[in-house]
Chains A and B, each alone.
Chain A
Amino acid sequence: MNKPSLLLLFILIALSGRAQRYTISGYISDKNSRERLINANVYENNTLQGTTANNFGFYSISLPKGEVKITASFIGYSPQTIDIDLQEDITINFEVELKSDQIEEITVTGNRTNKIENTQMSMIDVPVQKLQNIPTILGEADVLKVIQLLPGVQGGTEGTSGIYVRGGGPDQNLFLLDGVPVYNAGHLLGIFSVFNPDALRTVKLYKGAFPARFSGRLSSVVDVSMKDGNMQQLKGDFSIGLISSKLMLEGPIVKDKTSFMISGRRSYADLLAQPIIAAQNKNNQRSKINGLAFFHDFNFKLNHIFSDKSRLYWSLYHGRDKGKVGQAITVRNDKSEVIENLDNQFGLGWGNTISSVRWNYLISPKLFSNTTLTYSKYKFDILSDESYHQYYNNSIKKEFFEYSSGIEDIALKIDFDYFPTPRHAVKFGTSYINHKFSPGVTTFKFSNTADSTASNTTFGNRDVFANELSAYIEDDITISTNLKLNAGFHLSAFFVDGKTYFSPQPRLSARWLLNPDWSVKASYSRMAQHVHLLTMSGIDLPSDLWVPVTKNLAPPTSNQFALGTALKLPHKLDLSVEGFYKDMNNLIEYKEGASFMKNGTDWEKMVELGKGWSYGVEVLLEKTIGKTTGWLGYTWSKTERQFEKINFGRVFPAKYDRRHDLSLVLTHKFSNKFDISGSWVYATGSSATLAFSHIPIGNIPYAWNFGFGENYAYAYESRNNYRMPDFHRLDLGVNFHKQKKRGVRTWNISVYNAYNRNNALLLMWMEEDKDGEMTYGGGSMFNSGTMKLFKATFMPIIPSVSYSFKF
Chain B
Amino acid sequence: MKIKFILIIKLLLIITACVDEIKLKEDYTSKKLVVSSFITNGENIVVNLYQNKPINSKYEPALKTKAKIVLYENGNEKETLKPMVRYSNSYDYENQTQITDSTYMYTSEQTEIKNGNTYKIVVECEGYETVTAETTVPFPVPVNAFDSLTVHKESHGSKYTEYDYKLSFTDKAEDINYYRLIVLEASAKKSFLKLGSDTIDYIDMNLFSSSTYINSTDPLLTNENKDANSYLFGELDNSYGIFTDDMINGESYEIKFTANFQYYSSNEMDYEAGEFRKVNLVLQSLNADMFYYLRSIDAQEYSDYMMFTEPVPIYSNVENGFGVFAAYASSEIEIIYGEYPKEGVKYFTWSDIQQLYEDYNNK
Contacts and interface: CB of A to CB of B under 8 A. Distances in A.
Our verdict on whether A and B bind, yes or no, reads yes
A780 to B, nearest CB: 10
B147 interface: no
B202 interface: no
Interface stretch (B46-54, B67-75, B187-195): B46-54
Interface in B174-199: 182, 184
B56 A689 contact: no
B165 to A, nearest CB: 16
B55 A704 contact: no
Contacts of B300: 593, 713-714, 716
B49 to A, nearest CB: 10
Contacts of A277: 11, 14
A276 interface: yes
Contact of B48 (A648, A699, A792): A699
Contacts of A571: none
A326 B3 CA distance: 11
A597 B12 CA distance: 22
Contacts of B313: 647-648, 689, 715-719
B161 interface: no
Given A289-B11, A597-B233, A702-B182, A784 B18 contact: no
Nearest to B20: A758
B319 interface: no
Contact of B309 (A595, A690, A793): A595
Contact of B56 (A384, A762, A789): A789
Contacts of A719: 310, 313
B311 A276 contact: no
A286 interface: no
Residue from A597, A722, A795 whose CB has the most chain B CB atoms within 10 Å = A597
Contacts of A743: none
Interface in B1-55: 1, 3-4, 7-16, 18-22, 24, 28-29, 32, 34, 36, 38, 40, 48, 50, 52-55
Contact of B7 (A327, A590, A690): A327
A706 interface: yes
Do most interface residues of chain B lie in helix, strand or loop, or is the interface mixed?
A: mixed
B21 A789 contact: yes
B200 interface: no
Interface in B210-256: 210-211, 213, 224-225, 227-229, 232-233, 236, 239-240
8 contacts: A594-B309, A601-B224, A647-B313, A700-B294, A704-B213, A781-B59, A790-B22, A796-B18
Contact of A537 (B88, B93, B310): B310
B19 A689 contact: no
B113 interface: no
B303 A592 contact: yes
Contacts of A498: none
A664 interface: no
A693 B54 contact: yes
A709 interface: yes
B299 interface: yes
Contacts of A595: 233, 306-309
A787 B7 contact: no
A538 interface: yes
A699 to B, nearest CB: 5
Residue from A273, A598, A691, A710 whose CB has the most chain B CB atoms within 10 Å = A598
Contact of A694 (B53, B301, B323): B53
Nearest to B12: A794
Contacts of B57: 786
A414 B314 CA distance: 53
A670 interface: no
Given A280-B14, A601-B225, A701-B328, A691 B20 contact: no
B89 interface: yes
A695 B131 CA distance: 15
Given A593-B303, A702-B211, A789-B21, A539 B52 contact: no
Contacts of B32: 693
Contacts of A717: 313
A605 interface: yes
A278 to B, nearest CB: 11
B311 A714 contact: yes
Contact of A536 (B22, B55, B299, B310): B310
A782 B93 contact: yes
Interface residues of B, number: 81
B173 interface: no
B142 to A, nearest CB: 19
A229 to B, nearest CB: 40
Contact of B93 (A764, A779, A784): A784
B308 A793 contact: no
Given A538-B310, A706-B211, A716-B312, A790 B19 contact: yes
B282 interface: yes
Contacts of B58: 784, 786
Given A346-B4, A598-B225, A693 B11 contact: no
A793 B16 contact: yes
B302 interface: yes
A463 to B, nearest CB: 19
Contact of A691 (B12, B236, B311): B311
B143 interface: no
A777 to B, nearest CB: 9
Nearest to B227: A600
A763 interface: yes
Interface string A672-712: 00000000000000000111111111111111101001101
Nearest to A293: B11
**Size class of the contact patch on chain A:** 35 or more
B310 A590 contact: yes
Given A790-B21, A791-B20, A765 B55 contact: yes
A505 to B, nearest CB: 31
B296 interface: yes
B322 interface: yes
B57 to A, nearest CB: 8
A539 B22 contact: no
Contacts of B93: 782-784
Contacts of A593: 225, 236, 298-300, 302-303, 306, 309, 312
B18 A276 contact: no
Q: List 9 tightest A-B contacts by C-beta distance, closest first.
A: A716-B313, A593-B299, A693-B52, A793-B18, A600-B227, A784-B94, A600-B229, A346-B4, A692-B28
A373 B53 CA distance: 62
Contacts of A606: 224-225
Contacts of B10: 289
Nearest to A290: B11
Interface in A753-801: 758, 760, 762-766, 779, 781-784, 786-796
Contacts of B298: 593
Contact of A696 (B13, B18, B36): B36
Given A713-B314, A763-B22, A791-B20, A700 B52 contact: no
Contacts of A694: 52-53, 55
Contacts of B240: 700, 703
Contacts of B40: 701
Contact of B16 (A538, A648, A702, A794): A794
Interface in A520-567: 536-539
B248 to A, nearest CB: 17
A596 interface: yes
B302 A459 contact: no
B269 to A, nearest CB: 22
A163 B10 CA distance: 27
Contacts of A327: 7
B297 interface: yes
Contacts of B314: 695, 697, 713-716
Given A593-B302, A595-B233, 16 more contacts: A277-B11, A459-B229, A593-B225, A593-B300, A595-B309, A695-B314, A700-B294, A703-B240, A714-B304, A716-B314, A717-B313, A760-B22, A789-B22, A793-B16, A794-B12, A794-B18
Interface string A16-60: 000000000000000000000000000000000000000000000
